[in-house]
Amino acid sequence: MTAERGLRVEGLTKSYGGVRAVDDASVTFRHGRINALIGPNGSGKTTFFNCVTGMVEPDGGTVTYHGRDLTGWPAHRVAYAGIGRSFQLCRVFPRLTAVENLLVAVRPGSVLRALSPARRKADVDRALGLLTRVGIEHLADVEARDLSYGQQKLLELAGVLMADPETILLDEPAGGVNPALIDRIGALVRELNAEGRTFLIVEHNMDVVMSLSDHVVVFDRGRPIAEGPPDEIRADPLVLAAYLGN
């Protein structure tokens, strides 16, 4: 029997004190598509991301990827399994250059080892190629702290791609960036999806969600309440009630 393709979560639960941030959530994301995960503030989206990617350990439930149980795996093992992610607030090494940030992303071990003179030319060439792809190749030797927030977002995306993941989770990629950069990030997502990568995107910008995604999952109070194509989600009364607080 062939293992089911894609990312599947069943009965996922995570509590902090008496609050269930994720509450018995079960959902399957469409493999090979651009999935969006939306919901009002506090609905559990980022906690769900953290459980799936090994940043926090769930209290219950299972996370499977291509039929393989990843539940409770540490973040680096999840990444090696083919799942990459970005963060709501950019995580870059501020005192490393853009190209050095990418070298650290791909080379296991210490930062010093990743930046040693013995680093492979292939790694450097790949890093420069990805900086070109996201449009910041001219900033390769600039320290990350001197980049704009939007440029740091592009750098973080290039760092995710450095590990060549099959599935990419993006946490608010349009947050805090200008409209031109939002369009650039959207174009990159479409290009990468056309090349075969699956996306799961948490995003509050509904224009981005509705124009970019193929499949939308809506969270409220820690669990999915609706899923389907963007046009159906836009008109779903449960979704409207969740956002309006009714």
Residues 43 and 73 in one domain: yes
pLDDT at 113: 57
Residues 124 and 171 in one domain: no
Residues 113 and 78 in one domain: no
The single-letter code of the amino acid at 187 is A
Using only C-alpha atoms, what is the Rg of the chain?
A: 18
pLDDT at 88: 81
Residues 103 and 68 in one domain: no
Q: Of 207, 195, 198, 232, whose CA–CA distance to 29 is shortest? A: 198
Residues 76 and 186 in one domain: yes
> Domain boundary residue among 140, 164, 188?
164
pLDDT at 122: 81
CB 54 within 8 A of CB 75: yes
Residues 76 and 1 in one domain: yes
- Domain of 123 in residue numbering reads as 91-164
Residues 64 and 110 in one domain: no
CB 146 within 8 A of CB 138: no
Residues 149 and 102 in one domain: yes
Parallel, antiparallel, or unpaired: how do β-strands 167-171 and 83-85 relate? parallel
- For residue 203, the domain's CATH number is 3.40.50.300
pLDDT at 240: 84
Q: Give kind and range of the element (H or E) at residue 8.
A: strand 7-16
pLDDT at 235: 86
Residues 78 and 188 in one domain: yes
Number of domains in the chain: 2
Residues 126 and 15 in one domain: no
Q: Give kind and range of the element (H or E) at residue 116.
A: none
The tens place of each residue's pLDDT in the chain, 246 residues long, gives 345 789 999 999 999 988 999 999 999 999 999 999 999 888 899 999 999 999 999 999 999 999 999 999 999 999 999 999 998 888 899 999 999 999 887 655 545 555 555 567 788 899 999 999 999 999 999 999 999 999 999 999 999 999 899 999 999 998 888 999 999 999 999 999 999 999 999 998 888 999 999 999 999 989 999 999 999 998 888 888 877 555
pLDDT at 11: 96
> Domain boundary residue among 164, 192, 217?
164
pLDDT at 118: 54
∠ CA 139-171-153, nearest 5°, is 10
> Domain boundary residue among 164, 190, 225?
164
Note the pLDDT tens digit of each residue in 97-121.
Answer: 999 999 887 655 545 555 555 567 7
Residues 73 and 173 in one domain: yes
pLDDT at 105: 75
DSSP 8-class letter at 172: S
CB 161 within 8 A of CB 104: no
Residues 16 and 129 in one domain: no
